[in-house]
Structure 1
């Protein structure tokens, strides 16, 4: 799976979860600062990612992800 495909999937998931299909998301978009995602919404987002990509994402790894690009890179390295 390409990085672009992964980014499209995670963008779709966050837009769907937030019920904002027209939301502009880039690789530098911060879940917390730009999108206002709180800890409950972040947990739900991570669960959706785990389901989508069939893997487990430890909480420690999530804490290191500050923007959508970092999340994409993380997933790209895990789903190869």
Structure 2
């Protein structure tokens, strides 16, 4: 069963918190991973791998660069789960 946007956001916030120590409340849909959340490419790859496992989706490397904001990632996961 596909997760809701809220469940995906909460799951991502948890993964980001584990990787970066950022408070889960700081992870909001309109936040940019690099500018607002200060996540570097190495941390981003770890977050992507953990998100793939958690949500049982595949996020191809070439798609990662398109995930600029938290909403981009949530939407991607939602679409991938529905496929």
* Structure 2: segments with no counterpart, 5+ residues: none
Structure of greater relative contact order (alpha carbons < 8 Å, 6+ residues apart): 1
With normalisation by structure 2, the TM-score equals 0.86
Which has the higher mean CA deviation after the structures are superposed, 52-61 or 21-30?
Answer: 21-30
Q: How many residues align?
A: 80
Write the distance in 2 (CA, Å) between the matches of 1:22 and 1:49: 15
Look up the match of 1:28.
30
The structural deviation recorded for 1:36 is 1.3
CA RMSD for the aligned pairs? 1.4
* Structure 1: segments with no counterpart, 5+ residues: none
Question: Is 1:5 the equivalent of 2:18?
Answer: no
The structural deviation recorded for 1:22 is 5.5
